[in-house]
Every structure is written in structure tokens, then in C-alpha cells.
Structure 1
Amino acid sequence: MDINKKLQQFLVANNESEILEYKEAKEQFDSNKLGKYFSALSNEANLMGKSDAWLILGVKDDKSVVGTNFRTDAKHLHNLKAEIANHTTNRITFKEIYETEYEGRRVVLFQIPSAPLGLPIAWKGHYYGRDSSELQPLNLEELERIRTQNTNFDWSIQICEDSTIDDLSSEAIDKARELYTIKNPKLADEIKAWDDTTFLNKAKITIKGKITNTAILLLGKSESEYLLSPAVAQISWILKDKDNIAKDYEHFTCPFILNVEKVYEKIRNLKYRYMRASSLFPDEVDSYDPYIIREALNNCIAHQDYTMGGKINVVEFEDRKLVFSNKGSFIPENINNVISLDAPEPKYRNKFLAQAMVSLNLIDTIGSGIKKMFIIQKNKFFPLPEYELSNESVKVTIEGKVLDVKYASKLASMPSLTLEEIILLDKVQKGKQITSEEASFLKRKKLIEGKRPNLHISSDIAQITNQRDNYIKLRGIDDTYCQNIILEYLGKFKSGTRADFEKILLDKLPDVLDENQKKNKVKNNLQALRKSGKIEPDRRMWHLSKR
């Protein structure tokens, strides 16, 4: 690029615009302000359909060139690329930083890339835009306009320029051919006769012999990953202990079709032995059903938002728990939509990739994969999968152990309960919050008792599931019993502080209450006894009433 010619074009143009900003900056320019302008100009370039925007130092608003001494050391100047990347979305930074002289005065030009489709750029977590020449927070309408741009964009179908079939692993192609034959047994002889190019086209991995992002992701050699940049083709397996401290890790890249199995092999799928309560229980089972591991991992691959530049994580905890996470929002919006609808999702983030994975029998598009995961866990009497959804990631936690054998086995075997009801009861049993609508639904069916957030399984269900003791524990000792303990203490020891009563009562209160709620319950019972005239305070001490 002839940067002097480019500068001349800017100077003869009408004025500043949303994608062109002049700053005098004779000596210095605040780096935080520079970051805000980076965010604003990048977002505005996206909204205007431009490939880039420019910030120019050493030029006044009236376009008179005054020169700048900002970071005259070249290395110090170009360090700005890393400094900006450290605080922007997905570490996006300047395309280039140019220095030039114009009429004997130094001018610095920053070439700023347009925000990618569907990905507004933030500086230190805040999104900026421009109102004419004014730096402003990006308004909500513009923010949503950028975020919804990629609903019809399929990263996975894009042609990977300058790549050839030589960038693919022959071992991975052979594995793909094997899986495709299993999926299409009637075509076995034809598949065997196809050359690699024909096979890849037929399996919808390439397009007319051209290598797609999908082809590199699933079948690419490990050294071919760079062809997907700035996207990242990486799965990280991390082993952590019960204190969340990492003990081991390994990173896996292309080809995913082979390395998914290597990730699976890293997971310690230990045998789990039940406390055998009846002939219903097997002596032992795998902590994790193989289908669940592969389904969760392949879902991460199929639905990852590769434009965000993140990696897929599989975190294994030593206390029998797996956490899978990938970048990108959950397109069905909530897990209930998937569980209740036995049909394919009408839209996919990576449609071409998903179709290729279906053709290779890696995933199922009939919408039953996640539901099957729930049913497998239910039938093993294990806690159900837990999904944590946000705009930027999806996280699913799989427990590899029983939460409560008696409760889970009986509850799961009750024929009158639907999977949706069991999912909600599973949340209540774990102490997870449910919505007021969900709570009302369960109460109408007499499945739970209590008030949000202190819900517990109802006595009817507890009776059916042999959980009478657990029901009493969850419900907690009643106020009368609590007050009798206080009165008995004061009768014996004459006086006591609230802290004394907390020591006696806190461990007797229901587990669904947190520590503050338990302390409030003690406080409320003391006040109830005072109002009834049974006890009275003396500063911080409580005594039996003399009346």
C-alpha cells in the first residue's frame, strides 16, 4: 500500500466520518482512549459495510498536518498491537500501523479491521461507537444489528483458500470412508471404488474438489490448522482435582475425526459400584456412558462458533464429573426446547459441518441426541446433565456418580412422571433454582413443597421413594421445636447470646438454607419468643422472662 497516497486521499476528502478519525496528538495519546477508538471505529466499519477504518495521529480536525511525537521508537509503537489485543474481543487488533512523513511532519496511521460478522468489538468489556465524530457507547440497536448478522453465515462451508487435498490426512480420509460406509452399507462397493476427491465430494466434506473449513477441521493434518486462522481448531483436555487445581492436560488439533477418540481415551472412565439396594442395581457401571461422552464432544465440534477464535474444553474432575464447553450461544435458546421437541433444530450455526458429521455418523440431526443423554443418566439413576448457557458459550456438566440411590431409583421408576417433571425435580433435589412458573407446575402436581427459593421434595414423593428421613431433613425442624431448644437452654444456663443459639441450631436447620438464611431463622425465633413474652433481652444476652 502506498501510504502517502492513501493519506493524501484522506486529506482531500470532505471531513471526518464514522470510520475516519483525526487526532492532533503532538506528543502523547492516551492508550485507553486509543482502545475506545479502536472499538468504535471497528464497529462502525462493520455497520457501514467497510473492510476497515482509520485513526490518524498528527492531523488536526481541520485536516492541517501538525505532526506527532507519539511513540517515536518503532518497536514501542508496534507494541500497541499486543497492548490493544489484550483488552479487545477475541484479541482483535490493528491490521497495520504505518509511519510516514507529510510535508516534513511525522504522521501515524492505524488501520483498524471491521468487526467480524456477528461479533461486535469491545474494549475492556465495553462496546463503543460513533455519533458523527463523537465517541459514544454503541447503542443497543447497533449492537444487536451486529450480533444478528451471522444468523445466515456458515463459517464451515467457506472455501479454505490456497489449500489442497494434500493438506488433508490420508489416515483421516480412510477413517471418514470407513464411517461413511457404515452409514451407507448398500453403497459399500461404490464407495470403495471412488477416489479420494470423489468420496469427499459425495460425503459433502468438500465442494467440487475445493477444500472447505469443514474438511480441514475434520480431516486436516495437524500442521494444516493455521489455514483456519483466526479460527482455532483445538480441543483441550484438562484433569483437575476436587480443589479445582489442574493436575494434567493435553491439547488436540486437526484432524478431529481421529482426535475425538484420543480425547475419549484420556478420560478416566472408572467403574462405579452401587451400594446394591435390590436386584434393580447392577454391581457396577461405567462412570460415564460412552455415548454421552462422544455426543457431548461432537456437539461441541458441530456447534462451536469458530468466528470467536476460542477452543473447545473438556475438563475432567477426579470426583467423577465432566464439563464440556464451547464458544457460541445455544441456538435453541433453552434446553427445554430440545427436550420437548423431537425434531431437528430448524437452523444450525455450522450447517455444512453438521451435515458432514451426519454423513459420517458422528452426530444425529433428528433432535434426539441431547434427550438421549438425559434418558441414559435417568436410567442409571445419575444426576441429569446440567446446561449453563450464555451469549458467548455453552457448558454442560455430566456427573459420573449417583446423587441419592434410593431417591433416584424409585423416582426414575415412577411411570406417571414425565422426563420434563424429572428434570425439574432433579434441580430441586440438587438445590438448584427453578422459575416461579416451574415451581407452580410442580406444586399443582403435589411434587414439591415450600416457598422459593427454599423448595423441597413433597412428603407424598418422599413417602413413595422411601425418603421420609430426607424429607424431614429438607423441611427442617419446625419453629416450635426450635423455640423449645432455646427455652430449654435458658432454663439450664440462665442466659445466652444469639451466637450460642446458632451453635446449637444451625446444623439442625434444613440443608436447603444457606448460612445467612439459617442465622435469620434463629433470629426470627428469638424475636417470636420475645413478642410472646417468654424471653427478654439484656443488651446482647437473652434471659427467660421474669413476668
Structure 2
Amino acid sequence: MKQQLEILLRCNSENEIVEFKEAKRNYDFNKLGRYFSALSNEANLKRVKQAWLVFGVKDNQTVVGTKFRASPKELQSLKKEVADKTTNRLTFVAIHEIDHSEGRVLMFEIPAAPQGIPIAWDGHYYGRDGESLGPLNLEEIERIRSQSRLTDWSAEVVPSASVYDLAPEAIKVAREKFFQKNPKLVNEAEHWDDITFLNKAKLTINNQITRTAILLLGKSESSYFLNPASATVTWILKDRDGLERDYQHFDCPLLLSVDEVFHKIRNLKYRYMKEGTLFPEEIDQYDPYIIREALNNAIAHQDYELGGKVSVIEFEDGRLCFSNLGLFIPGSVESVIQSDAPESRYRNRFLVDAMVNLNMIDTIGSGIRKMFLIQKKRFFPLPEYELGNNRVQVTITGRVIDIAYARKLAEYPELTLEDIILMDRVQKRKPLKEEQAKHLKALGVIEGRKPNYHISAQVADHSGDRAQYIRNRAFDDQHYKQLIIEYIGKFGTAKRVDINGLLLDKLPDVLDPNQKDNKIKNLLQAMRKEGLIEPEGKSWRKSKTG
């Protein structure tokens, strides 16, 4: 083990599977656990057997020694303490105690996460980006989990099922959709019986009924073949207060249920005034393509092994939320839009291929991008994806928030769709990454400081939204200080409530109430330090020394 230590000390620096800690005597137990999770997961992803957490060594590989858990009994009890908080009670392979010339060194040998099982510490997954510790991202979690998926759930044969467990009306519609997709096969298909058609459409395997066939074409009473997986799509209608007004469950055959859910959605007419005319434009709140694409994607990519339902929630304020269980395998929506290409792998490959053959979805990779483009052309907010808690949710808004801004922004010639997606985040008050904000500032389309970005004067002038720009733009602090000085000069003193009344409506709209309150507090403290004002009880007055 001394030789192994020397090998680690010769590393140029720490990396995803080696971490050095000085840890002279005390070290935070939970932080140790987070490193255990991160190093174990990274060892799995790097395809090595173990990772190392080394105590008694500085970041620069200088040995300084450690007195962490100096008692042998206390040190060995650490293995159980770690196991109590990790997935599958995983713990150290061994804890090696090295008597180095510069002091005692502890080498914690951490096993790679088992195939298909990412390791959590206290319910949370951790990983490494170089030397940095942080949450394990969704794509990496899915990479580890997918290692155990030697079979495709959707391709599994149901031995006790037969063609008589499928709905005749669903098979009929499946034939129609298949021939819409493959018109050259119409004449040849005249002589196909049902089982031949099902084999050709890749719904069955060698005349055997698959889970995909039951899911898409099965009779309602055949859904038990899929237990404990659920073949249910739930539609819920909620009012403007989020209270449930109506609901309905739809099950097999999902090929037909998709149309039933589509017609259940109250796709009302929406009117807005077109530029240059007195006559209103009337369109459906939701483009039919977007409804079907979002719903079919949820069915195609649901993780059925988790036993949950696909849900469609309709809000009366003009929003649709589609959700399904399972991680978003591409990792991020941005990566899908930028690549605009088919995914290299799918959770339910057999189901996806069948849905393609039945003209339900397309694997060319443009479905999500097309949803964004449709919303952009309608001047509606872009689709909003929430990826977390092992769930994918997309929200579609069926109304214009600010037609003058949205239209001009969509027509702004220098902006790509990717730029408009970032601008949409600014409109929705969503956070931007530092590099995203820097990019938009370079284009001259946003101003402000993190996290309170707002539309720049250039775009405000382009969109005719000059007034909103002024409301969002912060004045120089000196302007606010001068207002306070003038108020105190006129009235002698000012209570905090008076100063709030003076400044709150003058602070930029991008600040929320708490941020405005903190802004005023910071201004007053800055003026006190500058000797301009001083406290008098619960009031402020001009400083005697100012």
C-alpha cells in the first residue's frame, strides 16, 4: 500500500477518482460520505475497480499526516457508519493506515458503483467534475442505470397472450396508420392476416405478442399482462386556483386513447390583434402537432418499470402540462435542439420503433425543435421543460404574454432559435448561466446584473417596449441617495417606512419585494458609512459631521 500511495502522490493533480484531504483531526462525516458517493460513481463511469480518498495529504500532494479517528476501533466503525447511509449499504473495500515518514496517512479504498446501480449518500447522488464535488448529473445517473438493462422492457414477449387479447378496432387503425407511413406496401398488404401485419409493423416478434403490442393495441382488460407497469394516461382539468375540476383515466389500447385524450383537451379559440389591421386573428390555443408530439413522447419514453402513469394536466389559465416518469436520457433540452439529430439510444427502443411505424412519432430528432418553432411563430412562450425527481414535464402555454415584444423579438434577424430560447428565460425570470448571460450581453439584447437581467435598450426600442425597459433598468445608487438626502433635508428626519414609500416604486421591476427591501437597507447603511446620515431612534437624520 505504500507503493500505491507513492503512485497516487506522483499524480499531477487530483482527478475524478483521487481526492486528497489534509483532515488533521476532525473531518465532517457528511462531507466524507458525499465524497464516497462521488468517487464510487466516477470509478464506475471511468470503468476502474476503485477510487481513493486519502487523508493526511494536502492538495499539492504534500504529506502532513492526520489524527482522524486515531483509535483503530473508531476507525473501523466508519465502514458500518458509511454503509448505513449509502445505496445497497456499499462501504469501503478497506481502510489502509500507512506509517509515512511525514506522518500517518489514511487511504480509503472506495469500490466502483456496481453495474447499473448509482450510489447515493443519504438519498442524493454525487459526482466529480475534475477536482470539484457536486451533484451527479442526470445523464450520468442514466448511464450507470442503463448498464443493467440487458433487455428492452417494451420488447419482452408475453407468453400467455395471443392476438385475441388485442382490440380489433385498434388493429384496424394501426393498419391505416402503417400504410400512411408505408404507401408502397398497400397492394402487398391486401393478403396479410393480422399476425403477419403485426410482425411487419414490428409490434410482435415471430408471431409472439410483446408488451408493446399490449400497450398500443391491447384490449382494456388485457392491461393486466403489463403488471406492475401501468398503461394509463390520466387527464386532469384544473381551475385558475389549481383546484381539480374534472379528470378521466385512459388505458389500453393507447393507440386509440391518444385520440380520446386529444379530444378531451378544451382547445379553445384565442384572439389577438394583428399588426396593421383592426380585425382579430383567431387561432387554436394549442397547435395539434404540439399536443400529439408531447403526449406521444411521454408514452414512448415513460419508464414503465417505475409503475407510474403518464399525465396531462390542463389549466384553465391556458397551460398544458405533460409528464412521464424516467430521466431525460439526452441530459438537456438544449443539447437536443442544438444537435437536431436522432438520439443514439432510447429507453424503449422496440416501442419507439413501433410508434414510428404507426406514424405516431418520428425519430429524426426534430420533434422537440419543431415544437419550439411552432410556439415562436405563434408569438407564444416557448415550451418549458422541467427535468428532475426522475420525471420529465413539459408545459405548453396557449396565449400571448406580450405580443409586441414577442413578435419583434421573433423577427430580430441576428437571433437564432437558441438565442430566443435564452431570451425566453429572461422573460420568464428564469436564471441564466454565466456564459449564457455573457453571450446575450455580447449580442446587446440584455442588460443588468446576475440574477436580475432585463431586456436591453436596443431590443426595447426594436420592440416598442421602451417603457418596460425604463421600469426594469436600475438608476445609479447616487440617484437614490440624493432622493433620501432631499427628503431628510425637507422634513428633518425619515423613518424606514417613509424611505420605503419614497423609493419602492422607483426601484427596477426586475427586483422582487425582498430584493427591493435589501436594496434600500444597503443604501442606508452605505450612506451611514459615508457620513451622510445617522440613526436617531427608529428614524434617520443628516449626520452632524456630514
Deviates more, 1:340-349 or 1:167-176: 340-349
Matches within 5 A, 1:174-193: 174-193=172-191
Q: Which residue among 118, 121, 134 is the counterpart of 1:144?
A: 118
Equivalent pairs counted in the alignment come to: 423
Aligned to 2:58: none
Matches within 5 A, 1:8-407: 127-129=87-89, 141-142=113-114, 143-144=117-118, 147-279=145-277, 283-390=281-388, 392-407=390-405
Deviation at 1:517, TM superposition (A): 1.2
Deviates more, 1:365-374 or 1:276-285: 276-285
Deviation at 1:477, TM superposition (A): 4.2
Q: Distance in 2 between matches of 1:483 and 1:436?
A: 30
SS at match of 1:283: strand
Q: Distance in 2 between matches of 1:149 and 1:530?
A: 62
Q: Distance in 1 between matches of 2:506 and 2:248?
A: 45
SS at match of 1:433: coil
Deviation at 1:506, TM superposition (A): 2.6
SS at match of 1:175: helix
**1:411–1:465: 8 Å Cα contact kept in structure 2?**
yes
Deviation at 1:340, TM superposition (A): 1.1
Aligned to 1:422: 420
Aligned to 1:42: none
Deviation at 1:469, TM superposition (A): 1.0
**RMSD (Å) for aligned C-alpha atoms:** 2.6
SS at match of 2:364: coil
Letter aligned with residue 181 of structure 2: K
Identity of aligned residues (%): 56
Deviation at 1:499, TM superposition (A): 3.2
Letter aligned with residue 144 of structure 1: P
Task: Call closer, same or farther: CA 1:150–1:251 in 2, change over 3 Å.
Answer: farther
Q: Normalised by the size of structure 1, how large is the TM-score?
A: 0.73
**Deviation per residue, 1:175-223 (Å, 9 max, x gap):** 1011111111222222233111111111111111100010001001111
Deviation at 1:483, TM superposition (A): 2.7
Task: Call closer, same or farther: CA 1:125–1:189 in 2, change over 3 Å.
Answer: farther
Deviation at 1:511, TM superposition (A): 2.8
Aligned to 2:432: 434
Q: Distance in 2 between matches of 1:209 and 1:280?
A: 62
**1:129–1:139: 8 Å Cα contact kept in structure 2?**
no
Q: Distance in 2 between matches of 1:169 and 1:311?
A: 21
Deviation at 1:286, TM superposition (A): 1.1
Matches within 5 A, 1:515-526: 515-526=513-524
Mark the runs of 5 or more structure 1 residues left unpaired by the alignment.
1-46, 48-123
**Deviation per residue, 1:432-471 (Å, 9 max, x gap):** 0111111111122222112211111221121212121111
Q: Normalised by the size of structure 2, how large is the TM-score?
A: 0.73
**1:241–1:319: 8 Å Cα contact kept in structure 2?**
yes
Mark the runs of 5 or more structure 2 residues left unpaired by the alignment.
1-43, 45-83, 94-109, 120-143
Q: Distance in 2 between matches of 1:391 and 1:420?
A: 26
Deviates more, 1:225-234 or 1:508-517: 508-517
Deviation at 1:129, TM superposition (A): 2.1
**2:92–2:111: 8 Å Cα contact kept in structure 1?**
no
Letter aligned with residue 250 of structure 2: F
**1:151–1:349: 8 Å Cα contact kept in structure 2?**
no
Deviates more, 1:281-290 or 1:347-356: 281-290
Q: Distance in 1 between matches of 2:145 and 2:369?
A: 29
Q: Distance in 2 between matches of 1:534 and 1:318?
A: 53
Q: Distance in 2 between matches of 1:217 and 1:140?
A: 37
Task: Call closer, same or farther: CA 1:132–1:160 in 2, change over 3 Å.
Answer: farther
**Deviation per residue, 1:72-92 (Å, 9 max, x gap):** xxxxxxxxxxxxxxxxxxxxx
Q: Distance in 2 between matches of 1:206 and 1:442?
A: 50
